Structure 1
Amino acid sequence: MATPAKVSKPEGKNNHENADEQADKEQQEAIEQIDEVQNEIDRLNEQASEEILKVEQKYNKLRQPYFQKRSDLIGKIPNFWVTAFVNHPQVSALLNEEDEEALQFLTKVEVQEFEDIKSGYKINFVSIYFDSNGYFENDVISKEFHLNDTGEPSSKSTPIKWKNGKDLTKKSSTPSKGGRKRNLEEQESFFCWFTDHGDAGADELGEVIKDDIWPNPLQYYLASEIEEEGADDDLDEEGLEDEEEGEDEFGEDEEGEGEDDDGGEDEEGEEEG
């Protein structure tokens, strides 16, 4: 009985499978190497964050005397802070007439960063100092942001001791300056922000005060004056343009009259001839 011949596998198929295995192996090795490189990048990023934190802490201390000097000078300007708030496009949208009246007693705004600023949340965000006023009894009301025991951002604030009938956080139908009654659907008071602790990690008003207004409040205090100066400049430019247009028209008329005069003289000369 004849022995059956052995059937060999196609050589091309084996080569293809070997090539795929080799490609998979090289890809896996590349992924592992990329992971190692990424770990080194992450390590340097972490090191950079620590160095940046040290620099931030250093310069935060160096800035404090200047912040204090600025606050002392601002205290000499009546209604500085309420003017800065009213001139800020985002904050002004949160203010109603009664809020602005209450904020006229505001004499100082101060943002204090805690010594450990790495998380970015452990910040005494707003500390507002008021003279004695007709709205509440506190000398200071504040809102503070930090990380709680679970590592989540949270906030707390000073309870506002409102004087009788002056609680702006309670909507009422009291007449406004223009005699119009506030209805129950009107926007809530700016001071509701002090009792709002729903999402401390995304407190837009706090971020605006800390990162935008606090670094340079003077630019917002002067914003209305700058706008007025710009409007005056525009009016002056328009006036100059109108004058120039008038001069051009007047000049054209003079030239036309001169031509008529010359033409008249020529005609008279011809008649005499």
Structure 2
Amino acid sequence: MSTEAPPPAKARKLDESGDGEDGKDFDAESQKAIEEIDGCQNEIDSLNEKASEEILKVEQKYNKMRKPFFEKRNKIIQKIPNFWVTAFVNHPQVSALLDEEEEECLHYMTQLEVEEFDDIKSGYRIKFHFSSNPYFKNEVLQKEFHLGSSEPRSESTKIEWKDKMNLVENAKSRMAKLKQGRKRGLDVKSFFLWFEDHEDPSQDEIAEVIKDDMWPNPLQYFLVPDIEVENGVEEEEDEDVDENVVVVEGEDELGEEEDGDDDEDGEGLEGDDDDLDQAGAEEEEEADDD
């Protein structure tokens, strides 16, 4: 009679339906451990939900605290001509959207605002304020992103273009011309085409760049040209230093040549001294003869 203990009973992997998952079987001890892990995971998920709620409250609190400073900054920015168009042109991603006409239009932009909804995860809106301009009648162009539902959507202000100044139609016409004769489609970007585009609001990179990068600190992009100029001056100074080093090396070489010339000249001087000594001796002999 065998004295070996019988193998442990097999148990199905835990799932909500009570059926096995992927046909995997576990012994009783493993099954119990899995149930305990599942219990721990439920506790962790519950804490994560609470943390999200707390983080949301903190974000809402600090959004309210930041708001008066954003408003104050906007008032100060209005004192600087062409602030926003300069910042847009200097931003690598936003500038990629702008053609010459659109850049000219953005010279009339006086203010940018980004407002997050109370429930931050549900979306935000971007407002572009304009002074009177030859392109459209609107004073404010607004684009909203509603991201809280299972089907994200966006909507934007209908632009009241003035006669023959519709930059969207101009961009589409330019795109059609560029596509002619090309086998593959050509993606021609445009700021106002982006403004009217609502195809995939949850993946709108330009909107996210404006909200998360441009809006928090536009000054860094307004000052980009000055920074580049400073860097250019520094590089030129470095180049001048290098040239001076080369010149110094040249002077050393010249110095060696001059040393050589001095040696030759020195030999010549010694020869002249010998001639003088000989002439003096002859004069003394003549004097003795007299």
Bin for the TM-score computed over the shorter chain: 0.7 to 0.9
> Secondary structure of 1:18's partner?
coil
Letter in 2 for 1:81: W
Aligned to 2:231: 230
Distance 1:267 1:133, change over 3 A: same
Distance 1:172 1:82, change over 3 A: closer
Aligned to 1:243: 244
Letter in 2 for 1:162: W
**Would you say the 8 A contact 1:172–1:183 is kept in 2?**
no
* 1:142 corresponds to 2:142: yes
CA distance in 1, matches of 2:238, 2:258: 30
- Say which is worse superposed, 37-46 or 22-31, in terms of deviation: 22-31
Cα drift, residue 35 of structure 1: 1.3
Q: How many residues align?
A: 254
CA offsets 1:9-33 (integer angstroms, 9 cap, x no match): x665x64x33877962222222211
* 1:115 corresponds to 2:118: yes
Determine which structure has greater relative contact order: mean sequence separation of CA pairs < 8 Å that are 6+ residues apart, divided by chain length. Answer: 1
> Secondary structure of 2:28's partner?
helix
CA offsets 1:174-216 (integer angstroms, 9 cap, x no match): 99xxxxx993537243101222111111111100000000000
Cα drift, residue 220 of structure 1: 0.4
CA distance in 2, matches of 1:171, 1:262: 80
Cα drift, residue 54 of structure 1: 1.2
CA distance in 2, matches of 1:70, 1:34: 51
CA distance in 1, matches of 2:270, 2:37: 101
Letter in 2 for 1:255: E
Aligned to 2:47: 44
TM-score by length of 1: 0.83
Distance 1:163 1:98, change over 3 A: same
Cα drift, residue 269 of structure 1: 5.0
Greater Cα radius of gyration, structure 1 or 2:
2
* 1:18 corresponds to 2:17: no
Letter in 2 for 1:235: E
CA distance in 1, matches of 2:147, 2:249: 70
Letter in 2 for 1:18: P
Distance 1:174 1:146, change over 3 A: closer
CA offsets 1:151-176 (integer angstroms, 9 cap, x no match): 4321111100000111111137999x
* 1:212 corresponds to 2:213: yes
* 1:98 corresponds to 2:92: no
> Secondary structure of 1:109's partner?
strand
Q: Which runs of 5+ in 1 are unaligned?
A: 1-7, 176-180
Letter in 1 for 2:81: P
Report % sequence identity: 49
> Secondary structure of 2:93's partner?
helix
CA distance in 1, matches of 2:260, 2:28: 96
**Would you say the 8 A contact 2:110–2:131 is kept in 1?**
yes
> Secondary structure of 1:107's partner?
strand
- Say which is worse superposed, 213-222 or 252-261, in terms of deviation: 252-261
> Secondary structure of 1:85's partner?
helix
Aligned to 1:71: 74
CA distance in 1, matches of 2:160, 2:26: 72
CA distance in 1, matches of 2:147, 2:232: 47
**Would you say the 8 A contact 1:172–1:184 is kept in 2?**
no
Letter in 2 for 1:169: V
Cα drift, residue 240 of structure 1: 2.0
Distance 1:182 1:231, change over 3 A: farther
TM-score by length of 2: 0.78
Cα drift, residue 261 of structure 1: 1.9
Aligned to 2:91: 88
